[in-house]
Structure 1
Amino acid sequence: MAADSREIRRRYDRLAPWFDGLESVLEGLFFRRWRKRLWAEVQGQHILEVGVGTGKNFPFYPADARVTAIDFSPNMLTIAQRKRERKGLSAELALMDVQALDYADNCFDTVIASFVFCSVPRPRKGLKELYRVCKPGGQVLLLEHVLSANRIMAALMRLCNPLTVRLFGANINRETVKNVQSCPFRHIYVDPASGDMIKLIRAVK
């Protein structure tokens, strides 16, 4: 694992015990609704969730699908494992970096991630990995924080970004739609209702 990935992982390991509490207000007001909308788009029988974190998406897992979920933070994954056991889920959890997935080409019907690529050191490399493991005709679904299209807000986000990376390991100035467009997907759809700084993206391989 590269040095920058190790540093981000250490930050998430440090935050893991308090992570759900830190995001509880935003989760209740905004994020949970969008997670539900994201998972409603899932298709197929074999699903990969990238960046499972503490397991916030567990309530939305399809009952009739095989779900594999990964995270690069051991401490976050430990919390997810405990939640999985309490909920009686059959999902397979694995410690893995999205920038180097240990899966064969073309093996998942849907690859899904929520609020993950703000913290991936090399996001285009990670997105190319998602493309690689997705089956032809399959889809990659993303719910992501992005840089505002408003110039003043974008300037403020760029100004604050070094602090948010240092404190939380998350970038608030990512241009994730452009990064997805750099991959050879056949079709990319951005939900127009998902707003200026949060985007729901569907990319078909």
Structure 2
Amino acid sequence: MGSSENFDMREKAKMNAKQKWDRTARFYDVWSAPMEMMGAKKWRALLFSGLPEGNILEIGVGTGINTEYYPNENREYTAIDISPKMLEKAKARAEKNDKTVDLIEMNAESMQFPSKSFNAVVATCVFCSVPDPVQGLREARRVLKKDGMALFIEHMRPGGRVLGKIFDIMNHATSRLIGFNINRRTAENIKKAGFEIIEERYLFRDIFRLIRARPYRVKDS
């Protein structure tokens, strides 16, 4: 397959994702309410309690649900999303939460930031839906300073043989109907993208996990 065909496929995937999340924006919070009741509020608070100071990037800000948990002191926030409709809701929510955030429409797979721009990158339940998750994670690594920190809450394929197979079967429906891939091996993808995982905490079985990672450092020989 030629480079032009690859480009066309990437652009089509980008447009499909943009349209899908624009359609979803108006009812996303209602749709995600069960996860919040299951414990996601505590998970978010835990994630942001470990946020470094400096320039912070949130990838896939969605409706801005995380802005409530942004620490104010000694931090400047930038947040991106592929969906303009999501960003409209994120803007309103950030204002409600009295947070100053630079909100930008941008594709996680091809960010327009200079390399090594941020002290931390954050994403919650994002890389289950990015069309090319490893490329998106590589971009996260690229824009992160060499001593920076990446923080994730992600759901992924369970390790059990039977349950894993069930998730594989269910994924055909979830990926088409709601855009979530429930059988991705996101912890492995984080490593493939050039990160070293320094903390991996199971939040709900081995499906929902909190992960802290940093750019892989080559040890001196």
- Report the TM-score when normalising by structure 2: 0.88
Decide which of 21, 35, 60 is 1:12's aligned counterpart. Answer: 21
Aligned to 2:156: 146
Give the AA of the match of 2:187: V
Q: Confirm whether residue 36 of structure 1 aligns to residue 63 of structure 2.
A: no
Tell me: CA distance 1:173–1:186, structure 2 relative to 1, closer, same or farther (3 Å). Answer: closer
Q: Work out the CA distance in 1 between the residues paired with 2:78 and 2:200.
A: 25
Q: Work out the CA distance in 2 between the residues paired with 1:55 and 1:90.
A: 12
Contact residue 69 and residue 94 of structure 1 kept, 8 A:
yes
- Deviating more after overlay: 106-115 vs 18-27: 18-27
Decide which of 83, 90, 105 is 1:73's aligned counterpart. Answer: 83
Q: Deviations over 1:38-92 (max 9, x none)?
A: 1111102110000100011011101121010110111111111122233332111
Tell me: CA distance 1:103–1:156, structure 2 relative to 1, closer, same or farther (3 Å). Answer: same
Tell me: CA distance 1:92–1:22, structure 2 relative to 1, closer, same or farther (3 Å). Answer: same
Q: Deviations over 1:93-123 (max 9, x none)?
A: 0000110011011110010000000000000
Identify unmatched segments of 5+ residues in structure 1. none
Contact residue 141 and residue 193 of structure 2 kept, 8 A:
yes
Q: Equivalences for 1:41-190 in 2 at 5 Å?
A: 41-64=50-73, 65-190=75-200
Q: Work out the CA distance in 2 between the residues paired with 1:93 and 1:180.
A: 25
Post-superposition offset of 1:4: 1.8
Q: Confirm whether residue 2 of structure 1 aligns to residue 17 of structure 2.
A: no
Aligned to 1:22: 31
**Which is higher, the Rg of structure 1 or of structure 2?**
2
Q: Identity, % of aligned pairs? A: 34
Give the AA of the match of 2:165: A
Aligned residues: 205
SS in 2 for 1:141: strand
Contact residue 72 and residue 99 of structure 2 kept, 8 A:
no
Aligned residues: CA RMSD:
1.4
Q: Equivalences for 1:184-199 in 2 at 5 Å?
A: 184-192=194-202, 195-199=205-209
Contact residue 181 and residue 188 of structure 1 kept, 8 A:
no
